Amino acid sequence: MKILIGHSNMDLDCFGSLALARYLYPRYIPVRSRLIHPMAKGLFSLYHDHLGFMPSRELKGENVEKMVVFDTRNAAKIREYMDYLKPFSGDVVVYDHHVHNICDIPGALLNEASYGSNTTLVAEELMARNIIITPDAATIALTGIFSDTGSFTHENVNARDFEASQWLMNQGASIKRVKQLLKVWHQDLQIDIFHKVLNSVSFRSISGYSVLFSHIRLDDQVNGLSEVVQKVFEVENADAFFAVFSIEKRNRTILIGRSQNDSIDLSRIMQDWGGGGHAKAASATLKELVSRNFVQTLIHYLKDVLVPACNAGDIMTREVVVVPDSCTVMEASLFLENMRHTGVPVVGSDKKLVGFISLRDISKARVAGEMQASVRGYMTHKLYTESPDASLRDLERLFLEYNIGHVPIVSDGKVVGMVTRSDYLRHI
């Protein structure tokens, strides 16, 4: 027997990979895990006949000579199948997009690529061989790509994910059906938990990152917790979010993380807690109930492992030109013209920042015929400044909320640098 398998607790990307894999390996039998991710249950129910999976328990006693594994390279995540196949000495091929993880499946031939979706990796081979697939298979695969890329918003998205999706659309994939299959809220209980998590969120600045934490207790296991966490994360828009769920009836704790910052690699963080996943989405299960102090434990852990974030002092221009508040608007205008700047800080006799004069301010003086007036009368007195250790998120907030183009960086009242919108955009 030759088989196709994915990781235990099969998700949409896993199903998408296997739906396409049947065309690469037409004589292989697809085998399903006894565990299916809540987000994928609707798809599995609708396409049960099309997928044609054999339950994993039916592997018992079978002689499997070849196996192709999809969407994981972790031996622990295929143990469910291997336990039925002991002893196993056949050939193993792996298709996996988790390129930062170590492959510990003995003797496996690894096919890998850093794509947003594992389904893309399989689709590439079909595209290269000009293989035609059914619209149903294309829809299942496209759902997998949309799911694992966050509808192409995750930072691990690759140009090949778009190319594979275009190819699947040309094969007849239904966007309308994909949208239906991706709907998150299948239970009223999920909505209730969403509000509980949202109301319990606390914020901490850790090593220059904006990190959210939540800890709630549940009577029993609830499907779809990761989707709840994702929705809360989208609402709060922090660098990272760690949600802790204490499941009292099961005497266990589920830790779910989300990140949108490359410097916060959740796959590596969750490995330290016995879990795993992607750099931007990962989880771990602790076989114990944790106390409320667990969030503090997490905070101390992150302080130890996170590399300090880039801040305003790292990207600011240190050579900042200024004008004294004793000069006239005309003098400031000529100065800006010579320097080809659109604005400049104004300082007092003690060199401390007192205002900011821009070309817009100068235009007002010109219209009023008061170019010889002091800059003190036309400069902006309401200043938005930051310190050198301000985070990039702090700077972003000022640019977005107040529509300003320059943020003076101040220490002890004196200008030590300047960050412009261009500086910020160039950095990110």
| pLDDT, average across residues 295-313 | 93
Q: Where does the pLDDT of residue 372 fall: very low under 50, low under 70, confident under 90, or very high at 90 and above?
A: very high
Percentage helix, strand, coil for the chain under 3-state DSSP, each rounded to 5: 40, 25, 35
Q: Where does the pLDDT of residue 185 fall: very low under 50, low under 70, confident under 90, or very high at 90 and above?
A: low
Statement: residue 227 has pLDDT above 90: no
Statement: residue 212 has pLDDT above 90: yes
Residue 50 has what pLDDT?
Answer: 85
Statement: residue 237 has pLDDT above 70: yes
Q: Could you report the per-residue pLDDT of 384-395, keeping only the tens digit for each?
A: 999 999 988 889
Structural domains in the chain, sorted by start = 2-181 (3.90.1640.10), 188-305 (3.10.310.30), 313-427 (3.10.580.10)
Q: Where does the pLDDT of residue 313 fall: very low under 50, low under 70, confident under 90, or very high at 90 and above?
A: very high
| pLDDT, average across residues 377-386 | 93
pTM, two decimals, is 0.68
Residue 405 has what pLDDT?
Answer: 85
Residue 128 has what pLDDT?
Answer: 97
Share of the chain above pLDDT 90, in %: 75
Q: Could you report the per-residue pLDDT of 95-117, keeping only the tens digit for each?
A: 999 988 899 999 999 999 999 99
Statement: residue 211 has pLDDT above 60: yes
Q: Could you report the per-residue pLDDT of 37-95, keeping only the tens digit for each?
A: 878 888 998 898 888 999 999 999 899 999 999 999 999 999 999 999 988 889 999 99
Q: Where does the pLDDT of residue 132 fall: very low under 50, low under 70, confident under 90, or very high at 90 and above?
A: very high
User: What number of residues does the chain have?
Assistant: 428
Greatest extent of the chain over all pairs of C-alpha atoms, in Å: 95
Amino acid identity, position 30: P
3 state SS for the chain: CEEEEECCCECHHHHHHHHHHHHHCCCCEEEECCCECHHHHHHHHHCHHHHCCEEHHHHCCCCCCEEEEECCCCHHHHHHHHCCCCCCCCEEEEEECCCCCCCCCCCCEEEECCCCCHHHHHHHHHHHCCCCCCHHHHHHHHHHHHHHCCCCCCCCCCHHHHHHHHHHHHCCCCHHHHHHHCCCCCCHHHHHHHHHHHHHCEEEEECCEEEEEEEEEECCCCCCHHHHHHHHHHHHCCCEEEEEEEECCCCEEEEEEEECCCCCCHHHHHHCCCCEECCCEEEEEECCCCCCCHHHHHHHHHHHHCCCCCEHHHHCECCCCCEECCCEHHHHHHHHHHHCCCEEEEECCCCEEEEEEEHHHHHHHHHHCCCCCEHHHCCECCCCCECCCCEHHHHHHHHHHHCCCEEEEEECCEEEEEEEHHHHHHHC
Residue 223 has what pLDDT?
Answer: 77
Q: Could you report the per-residue pLDDT of 318-362, keeping only the tens digit for each?
A: 999 999 999 999 999 999 999 888 889 999 999 999 999 999 999
